[in-house]
Amino acid sequence: MFKPFANDTDVLNIAGDAINIANRKTRVTISGDMAIARDQAGLANALALQKVIDAIVEALQNDSALPARLADEPPAPTGSAGNPFI
């Protein structure tokens, strides 16, 4: 069973390797591209994805020490930069 934010090693694949979910202690990365067809296989894929998303949301909602922002996140950009290609 996938337990979000539990370790830095778990990787879960949905629909073969169409969707990859990589677990880390500070974030869960979801990557890939999956079409959900209107058939039994599509339903199974959608339910698998929903199960993971629900587990992530539950873990976040139950974290009493959930920070507003991770300390390792870069600060929001300020101002603007000129286009170096002009």
pLDDT in tens, the chain (86 residues): 889 999 999 999 999 999 999 999 999 999 999 999 999 999 999 999 999 999 999 999 999 999 998 888 677 778 888 888 88
For the chain, the structural domain boundaries read 11-61
Q: What is the pTM of this model?
A: 0.80
Res 70: pLDDT: 87
Closest CA to 19 of 57, 40, 48: 48
What is the separation of C-alpha 44 from the centre of its chain, rounded to a whole number of angstroms? Answer: 19
Residues whose CB is less than 8 angstroms from the CB of residue 7 and which lie 6 or more positions away in sequence, other chains included: 23, 24, 25
Question: Which two structure tokens, joined as six digits, stand for 73?
Answer: 């996140």
Rounded Cα distance between 48 and 8, Å, is: 21
Which residue reads 């949905």 in tokens? 14
Containing 43, the helix (H) or strand (E) segment is: helix 40-61
